[in-house]
Structure 1
Amino acid sequence: MPKLGMEPVRKRQLIDAAIETLCRYGWHETTVVRIGREAGLSPGIIHHYFAGKDDLLAAAMRRILVEFRHEVTSRLSAAGDPRGRLRAVIEGCFAPSQFRPEICAAWLAFWAQAPFAPELDRLRRVYISRLRSTVLADLRRLLPEEQAELAVLSLASLIDGLFLRAASGDSRVSPEIALELAFGHLDQFLAGRAQVH
Structure 2
Amino acid sequence: MPRAGVQPMRRKALIAAAIDAIHAHGMAQVTMGEIARRAGVSPALAHHYFGGKDQLLLATMRHLLTELGDGIQARLALAAGPEERISAIIRGNFAACQFRPAVISAWLAFYVQAQTDPEARRLLRVYTKRLESNLVHALASLTTRERSIEIAETTAALIDGLWIRQSLADGGADPEKAVAAVEDSVRRALGRARS
Give the shorter-chain TM-score range. Answer: 0.7 to 0.9
Structure 2 equivalent of residue 175 of structure 1: 175
Q: Which moved more, 1:31-40 or 1:67-76?
A: 31-40
* AA partner of residue 105 (structure 2): A
State the Cα distance separating 1:116 from its structure 2 match.
2.2
Structure 1 equivalent of residue 41 of structure 2: 41
The total of aligned residue pairs comes to 193
Residues 136-189 of structure 1: per-residue CA shift (max 9 Å, x gap): 122232233443233212211121122322443543532222222222222222
TM-score by length of 1: 0.87
SS in 1 for 2:132: helix
Q: Are positions 1:163 and 2:163 aligned together?
A: yes
Residues 24-46 of structure 1: per-residue CA shift (max 9 Å, x gap): 22221222122123223332221
How far apart are the structure 1 equivalents of 2:24 and 2:180? Answer: 28
Q: Are positions 1:191 and 2:160 aligned together?
A: no
How far apart are the structure 1 equivalents of 2:180 and 2:65? Answer: 23
Structure 2 equivalent of residue 143 of structure 1: 143
State the Cα distance separating 1:49 from its structure 2 match.
0.6
SS in 1 for 2:178: helix
TM-score by length of 2: 0.88
How far apart are the structure 2 equivalents of 1:158 and 1:46? Answer: 37
* AA partner of residue 127 (structure 1): Y
How far apart are the structure 1 equivalents of 2:66 and 2:156? Answer: 18
Residues 16-65 of structure 1: per-residue CA shift (max 9 Å, x gap): 01011112222212221221232233322210111111111111111111
SS in 2 for 1:77: helix
Q: Which moved more, 1:44-53 or 1:161-170?
A: 161-170
Q: Report the identity percentage.
A: 39
State the Cα distance separating 1:115 from its structure 2 match.
3.2
* Greater share of residues in helix: 2
Q: Are positions 1:71 and 2:97 aligned together?
A: no
How far apart are the structure 2 equivalents of 1:14 and 1:30? Answer: 13
SS in 1 for 2:133: helix
Q: Which runs of 5+ in 1 are unaligned?
A: none
Q: Which runs of 5+ in 2 are unaligned?
A: none
How far apart are the structure 2 equivalents of 1:192 and 1:114? Answer: 35
SS in 2 for 1:116: coil
| Aligned CA-pair RMSD | 2.0
How far apart are the structure 1 equivalents of 2:170 and 2:151? Answer: 25
SS in 1 for 2:13: helix
- Kindly tell me: are residues 169 and 33 of structure 1, through their superposed partners in 2, closer, same or farther at Cα, counting changes over 3 Å? farther
Structure 2 equivalent of residue 97 of structure 1: 97
